[in-house]
Each structure stands twice: as C-alpha cells, then as structure tokens.
Amino acid sequence: MKKHIWILAVLLMSSCLPSTEKNSKALADVVMPKADHTLTSDQTHNKWSRAIAPVLTINSGEVVEISTEEATDGQLTIDSDTSDLMKLSFDPIHPLTGPIYINDAQPGDVIAVTLHKIEIGEWGWTAILPGFGFLADEFTEPHLKTFELAGKNNVRFADGINIPLKPFPGVLGVAPDTDSLLSTIPPRANGGNMDDPNIVEGTTVYLPVFVDGALFSIGDAHAAQGLGEVCGTAIEAPMKFLVEIELLKGSSIEEPQYENEEVYAVTAFATTIDEAAKKATRYMIDYLIKNHGLSRNDAYMLCSLAGDLKIAEVVDVPHMLVTMSINKEVLSK
C-alpha cells in the first residue's frame, strides 16, 4: 500500500491538505522503497520555466533516485582555495536535476514529495562571496573552506568546533507558469531556493502545481546549514536523494508546506521578514481552520500559543523565507 493512501482518503473527505493525524509508528516501520527511475547529476537545468523540457515522466506514487551536483556545478573541488572564488561563473549556478513530469498533474493540484533517503557526497564547501550575504557590506573579501564528508556524521570547522551534518535540499520546486527563464536564487510560490534546514530525510514537502505535469526539480544540496544561512552559503555538497512523488488531486495551497513525524509547517516568502512572517501566520491559520475545524479566532490564538515562527533564509534576494510550525503533540486527537 502506498505511503500516501491516507492522504488521498482525507482529501476525498475534506478537499483540503492532508491531516496531521497519521500513525507515526507505522510510517517509521515502512520499508525503504526501491527506485522506479534514476536521474544522474548531469541531467540538469539552472532556471525556472515551464519551457524547460522534462528529462523524465513518471506516474503518481513512483520513486526516483536523484543525484545532484554541488551549487557551482563542478567549478569548485575539494582542492580549491580562496583564489578560485574570483573565477566562478554564476551561470550556471544551482544546477537542478530534472524536471520530472508527473502524469495527470494539473494547475491547482498539489504534489507530495517524500524524502525517503539522503546520501551525502564525498566533499563540500562554504564561502564568503563578495557582494553576497546578509552582512555583505561588512564582509567584502572572499573566503573559502572545503570539507571531506565521506563517512562522517560531523565535520571539524576549527579547533574545538565541530558541526553535525544534517543534509537537505536547498532547492526543490516545480515550474512556474511562465516561459521566461527565472533565476533560481530567490524562493517563490513554486518553492525553489527555500534553504530550510528542517526539510530533512523523512520529510514530506507539499508543492502547489502551476503547469501541466508540475515539472519537479531538486538540487543545491546542503550538508549543514543554520537557520538564515547568513553568509550566503551552507556546506554545499553533491548528494543523492530517494524521493517518492505523489499527486494529490482536489487540493490546493498557495506556497509550499511540509511535515515530518514531529511537526506540520507552512512556508512564506516576501521581500521583508515582517511580511513573510505575516503570510506564514495566515497560512497556518488557514491550515488549522481547514484541517482541525477551528474558528479563525481560535486558530489565531493557537498560532500564538504553539506556533513557532522561524527564519529559514535571509540572503536569497529579493526574497526571504519564514516558516511557522506546530508540534504534532499539540495537533493530535
């Protein structure tokens, strides 16, 4: 039985997003699925557009093993030094593996992308890039660190400072409804460069569909990143993802949402933190009304009592991303 059968049942009854009332123990006991398809890290693009042809077509519920390149698409290596940063071309940047066409997906639908497994590549890097970052006017000189990652659970950053590895896709999303070739740097309603370090292995991400087939892509993988990604980079690394893509008909959302065994979360982008935070709060209110039967007043109060606003990223100009999550211990019945 497919992992998302419970989702389809809820949608048929409520025509809204899936309830958080799922059996977490049952999900934990699910056997790791086998890939129906494989995509390699050379099957990439670096813009968002409905005009980019898919490299794979799948049916709802199929599983794809997807390899991704690090953010510079091979321009940096484990042996690179700071001088190499000034030679970088930012076209391409964010090589995204895909797009994947999902049969029967239409505008107004939602696709559920479950990250069953994430494998970190052998190396990674982080850098200060002149003109980029939250404090770009203060940090004007380039700086690069590289890390060996193979077989490690953490990396040594400096004497007495070790960073635990927590891999996730910095970019995942669907094609926007435009023939223009949009930059992958800012997050948008289609997802994209959300840089949310909570979208880790075991998470299901819900993405609104804007074009036929959805045209899903993933990349810009990070081995570790703090909320905000303030210097502009994480530990950028090649990676391999095992994802299951489920089509949810009769559902709609304005921007991506996600859940795991612990929380349900909504995301919101805007040009300021204030506006993104307000949008995220409204999205969570809407979710609580639709899925938990609360009045608007009660939903607003619950967001104040149990909702956690977090800044996911502040550097992907012109947009910033804020999330609101609620622990499922609060939402369970």
Count up the domains in the chain and report the number.
Answer: 1
Provide the domain limits for residue 190: 5-254
Cα torsion 222, 225, 231, 232 to 10°: value is 30
Evaluate whether residue 81 is within a structural domain.
yes
pLDDT at position 28 over 70 = no
7 pLDDT band (50/70/90 cuts)? very low
Over residues 259-265, the mean pLDDT reads 97
For 180-212, how does the pLDDT look when each residue is reduced to its tens digit (9 = 90+)?
Answer: 999 999 999 999 999 999 999 999 999 999 999
Evaluate whether residue 326 is within a structural domain.
no
Strand partners, 207: 111
Across 12-21, 97-106, 198-207, 261-270, least confident range: 12-21
pLDDT at position 312 over 60 = yes
pLDDT score for 165? 98
pLDDT > 90 fraction of the chain, expressed in percent and rounded: 87
251 pLDDT band (50/70/90 cuts)? confident
Q: Between these two residues, 63 and 93, which has the higher pLDDT value?
A: 63
Evaluate whether residue 309 is within a structural domain.
no
pLDDT > 70 fraction of the chain, expressed in percent and rounded: 90
CATH code at 210?
2.60.120.580
| Its pTM surpasses 0.85 | yes
Buried b / exposed e over 122-139, threshold 16 CB at 10 Å, is: ebbbbbbbeebbbebeeb
Distance of alpha carbon 301 from alpha carbon 228, whole angstroms: 26
Evaluate whether residue 330 is within a structural domain.
no
